[in-house]
Amino acid sequence: MGEVLIVDDNVGVCRILHSVVEEMGHHADYVRTLGQAMKTLASGSYDVVLLDVHMPDGNGLDLLPRIRETKDSPEVIIITGKADPNGAELAIKSGAWDYLQKPLSLNTVVLPLKRVLQYRKASQNGPNPTVALKLDGIIGRSKQMQTCFDALARSAAGESPVLITGETGTGKELFARACHHNSPRSDQSFITVDCAAMPETLVESMLFGHKKGAFTGANRSQPGLIEQAHGGTLFLDEVGELPDSMQKAFLRVLQENRFRPVGGQKELRSDFRLISATNRNLDRMVDQGRFRKDLIYRLRGQTIELSPLRCRPDDIKDLVLFYSAKLCERHGVETKGISPDFLEAVLAYPWPGNVRELIHSVESALAEVAYAPTLIVNQLPVHIRVHLARASVEQSVAPNADSRTPERPGSADPLPTYKALRESVLHRAEKEYLREVMVTSQGAIQEACRISDLGRTRLYSLLKKHGISRVGWDSPAFSV
């Protein structure tokens, strides 16, 4: 018997769904707020949650990840009276089993409930062996990474194509190699095709190979990358950069597992497993006419979506420790300690370049530290320290009265008049400019006058107006 929790603020809907579940031979409870839902899930055990979106104390979609992370990790079926395509996409990407629109018919509810409860029963009763993955330097203990590891295990066990998506620097090639090394083809070749680096005039020859004399300079026959991948894995890195001219030709290769070398008279066969990776939105490229829709279907057998580093801060410390030790070993130096301020800095930085940027930053810090025993924040690259310094200053001045921005209409504070807004903006800009002038001139009035093109009297007047003192600019502890 399955356990179902109904979360809906409409008591009538709750009672109807309760009756449907009971008639199916399962047990159901219902609550009418998101807060009650989390308390009930914490104290009970459930297989499925029927979750409404628009609740009195919040949006059900926002709660979905937290529900999936509770002890029993119940499946979630979204039910809503105000269906939204973006909401449906968010729900499925967040792990929802289904997305149903009110008013609900009996069949609309019963069929997905039957399927999800059958799935839960099979998962609990069937064999579920623990798979020891070879991760080859992929570091992460966060929930996001555990989800990726689960997807990696499923993908490695099969033969269908795999598409790995994520921002630049998230480790797409590492996951592709891990998928290969954990697959039945692990003892065969792993061939990488960098679609972004291949000259368009040579793409066909590089992929399909060529026969001697096929073109000027073809002094001997050369096997292509597709032929070299026979029996193993072909990895198309940055597949979104594959030229239009090659997309149709490559689609046929995936359909037939056959190709013809440039200048060849007969087709050759290549049995390979395809893994692709991209930082592009391929669906958007299809809408723009820049990528073939039928090729996406061939690439997207299974999907692994890698989260950016800023969304999984729990992994940053482990990454720093792992790569600092690895880099020290590579360069033949003693393993360095990590100071608290260094860790605080790397945790506060958003890492737009993701894991790749973090590794390069750790390597740069190690180069700066030389033979000192500990990494400190001052060894981080300048652009990171600048970002952190600016963020700290912006945070400290945010509450000041002269930095307030006008509130939107309908808020507690009315919009200021145009004159008041203009004066406020000019005041802030003037004060910030004078600070920059004094920092650049190191407090020297003559130099400050030269930079600003202001007279000495006018400059003094403005400094006084904004409370900026030139005393102590050359002191290491000055403060303005």
Whether residue 275 is found in the same domain as residue 185: yes
Gyration radius of the chain over CA positions: 30
Cis peptide before 103 (omega within 30 of 0): yes
User: What average pLDDT does range 295-318 have in this prediction?
Assistant: 92
Residue 173, in any domain of the structure: yes
- Report residue 65 as tokens: 């990840």
List Cα–Cα distances, 144 to 149, 301, 308, 343, 471, in angstroms: 9, 21, 10, 21, 51
- Look at residue 407 in the predicted model and tell me its pLDDT: 46
CATH number at residue 356: 1.10.8.60
- Look at residue 480 in the predicted model and tell me its pLDDT: 29
Is residue 276 within 8 A of residue 163, CB to CB? The reply is yes
Whether residue 163 is found in the same domain as residue 282: yes
How many other C-beta atoms are found inside a 10 Å radius of the C-beta of residue 209? 23
Whether residue 207 is found in the same domain as residue 154: yes
Look at residue 274 and tell me whether its pLDDT is greater than 80.
yes
How many distinct structural domains can be found in the chain? 4
Look at residue 473 and tell me whether its pLDDT is greater than 50.
no
- Using 50, 70 and 90 to split pLDDT, how confident is the model at 448? confident
Whether residue 292 is found in the same domain as residue 350: no
Q: Is 451 helix (H, G, I), strand (E, B) or coil?
A: helix
Q: Is 375 helix (H, G, I), strand (E, B) or coil?
A: strand
Whether residue 186 is found in the same domain as residue 267: yes
Q: Is 477 helix (H, G, I), strand (E, B) or coil?
A: coil
Write down the mean pLDDT value for the chain.
85
The whole-angstrom separation of Cα 302 and Cα 151 is: 8
CA angle 106, 108, 113 (to 5 degrees): 90
| Beta strand spans in 8-157 (E) | 27-31, 48-52, 54-55, 58-59, 75-80, 98-101
- Look at residue 334 in the predicted model and tell me its pLDDT: 87
- Using 50, 70 and 90 to split pLDDT, how confident is the model at 418? low
Whether residue 116 is found in the same domain as residue 248: no
CA angle 184, 187, 189 (to 5 degrees): 105
Closest CA to 173 of 233, 241, 242, 235: 235
Look at residue 284 and tell me whether its pLDDT is greater than 80.
yes
Phi, psi values for residue 337, rounded to 5°: -80, 165
Residue 113's domain comprises 3-123
Residue 134, in any domain of the structure: no
The whole-angstrom separation of Cα 283 and Cα 281 is: 6
Whole-model pTM: value is 0.68
Phi, psi values for residue 298, rounded to 5°: -75, -35
Residue 254, in any domain of the structure: yes
- Look at residue 408 in the predicted model and tell me its pLDDT: 47
- Look at residue 323 in the predicted model and tell me its pLDDT: 93
pLDDT digits (tens, 9 = 90+) for 204-240: 889 999 998 888 888 899 999 999 999 999 999 999 9
Residue 172, in any domain of the structure: yes
**In the Cβ-directed half-sphere of 199, how many Cα atoms lie within 13 Å?**
3
Whether residue 322 is found in the same domain as residue 268: no
Whether residue 286 is found in the same domain as residue 325: no
pLDDT digits (tens, 9 = 90+) for 63-122: 888 888 888 889 999 998 887 888 888 888 778 889 998 888 888 899 999 999 988 887
Ranking 28-42, 176-190, 445-459 by mean pLDDT, the lowest is 445-459
Single-letter residue type at 283:
D
Q: Which residues lie closer than 8 Å to 409 by C-beta, 6 or more apart?
A: 415
User: What average pLDDT does range 457-477 have in this prediction?
Assistant: 63
**Environment class of 428 (CB within 10 Å of its CB; exposed 0-12, middle 13-18, buried 19+):** middle
Whether residue 164 is found in the same domain as residue 280: yes
User: What average pLDDT does range 338-352 have in this prediction?
Assistant: 92
* Beta-bridge partner residues of 276: 163, 236
Is residue 34 within 8 A of residue 57, CB to CB? The reply is yes
Whether residue 347 is found in the same domain as residue 388: yes
| Beta strand spans in 119-267 (E) | 162-165, 190-194, 209-210, 222-223, 233-237, 258-259
Whether residue 317 is found in the same domain as residue 234: no
Residue 100, in any domain of the structure: yes
How many other C-beta atoms are found inside a 10 Å radius of the C-beta of residue 106? 10
